[in-house]
Structure 1
């Protein structure tokens, strides 16, 4: 796998990829955040390509924001108001721009899990 940042989302409450999850990617620096990209997952719970790659993929602190409340409402799940999980932010560091960083998200209306994948 080439250097860059990728993600995917799996709905573990229904045992399937999470289609149509809105994701935002921010770069965090000195007290401010810069929106770099917004995308929506496809039928496989993935994006059509990397969120960042090439010259755009640099060391630093990033945050992915997954809009899981929107996803569950769109899937017909009845959520409390406010929902237990609405937006899931994952803040992580990139130390080596020549490496591949894969940040998957496993979701359910009541919890989530992530890890650095391959």
Structure 2
């Protein structure tokens, strides 16, 4: 399964380059396991995590400090049902709000 993300800084009207993002997997015993940490490129994207997540519950934690005065981090949890299908999780960030959705 391939997983990508794209972070846009809505306040400045440009991609959020250089942002640290952590990918975790939820384990049956109730703990989270870190699968990868990556940084957004100049276009605010991460497309290669160095690992392919399998089915189950995962989360992306975005280090938004410096881009948001209110949210030092944003965590988006999601379920991967079909590991053979590409999943894109974008984040649109402003100082006091954010939004995300299942992209294509």
Q: With structure 2 as the length reference, what TM-score do the two structures score?
A: 0.91
Matched, 1:25 2:32: no
Tell me the equivalent position of 1:35.
34
Match of 2:89 among 103, 108, 112: 103
Q: Which has the higher strand share?
A: 2
Counterpart CA distance in 2 for 1:101 and 1:52 is 15
Q: Which has the higher helix share?
A: 1
Aligned length: 103
Tell me the equivalent position of 1:6.
4
CA positional deviation for 1:12: 0.6
Counterpart CA distance in 1 for 2:17 and 2:48 is 17
Tell me the equivalent position of 2:60.
64
Give the secondary structure class of the aligned counterpart of 2:45.
Answer: coil
Distance 1:62 1:35, change over 3 A: same
Tell me the equivalent position of 1:16.
14
Aligned-residue CA RMSD in angstroms?
1.6
CA positional deviation for 1:52: 6.2
Kindly provide the CA deviation profile for residues 60-98 of structure 1, in whole angstroms up to 9, marking residues without a partner as x: 0001000001x42xxxx8x4xxxx201100000000011
